[in-house]
Chains A and B, each alone.
Chain A
């Protein structure tokens, strides 16, 4: 089952603009990870933010986490056509036995127009 929802489901912007995607989840988590997927291919790991962190940066990416609201956002600044892809958040939740099990959101399809 899906942990939560991503918003918006689809986003279309012009090259150079910023893109913001939101992710909500339902249970307590250890961390939240963001992934990119191009055209049904493999998932590319973008960034991991731990439950005790509020903000993290990596290049043009900025991720925030609000555990009180059970939500996260991914900001891509100065977007490029190559950023066109689906973006997924995945939560690594507290679970008995500490097994690794990522629960994914439904994804945001980002289209960056040249």
Chain B
């Protein structure tokens, strides 16, 4: 069974631009969450999607948004990029939304804003 697939793996953007990252969860998984990892702040929760609906959102500005499609694939978008948005963005998929199920992560998208 294929794992969580994130594309692209690396991305370089200029301040002010916008970017879209993609995540394909493990087949059959319906919950997708996004995380940002930076050296200073560590791993921080961005948002979670289940059944095409955002269920929870972390403490990030409105420039960070996302969506989930009917096949559970998810995208996140960052508009008006800032230098501080440079980070590893990780996507995790889970089988169910209920408790006590593992979250499996993709390899991440390394975003560099210049």
* A residues neighboring B (CB under 8 Å): 1-2, 30-31, 33, 35, 40-45, 48, 50, 88, 90, 92, 95, 97-107
Contacts and interface: CB of A to CB of B under 8 A. Distances in A.
Interface in B88-114: 88, 90, 92, 94, 97-100, 102-108, 110
Contacts, number: 77
A81 B10 CA distance: 27
A31 B97 contact: no
16 contacts: A42-B4, A42-B90, A42-B108, A43-B105, A50-B100, A97-B55, A99-B48, A100-B55, A100-B56, A100-B97, A101-B33, A101-B48, A104-B42, A104-B44, A106-B42, A107-B42
Nearest to B94: A100
Interface of B: 4, 6, 31, 33, 35, 37, 42-45, 48, 50, 55-56, 58-59, 88, 90, 92, 94, 97-100, 102-108, 110
B41 to A, nearest CB: 8
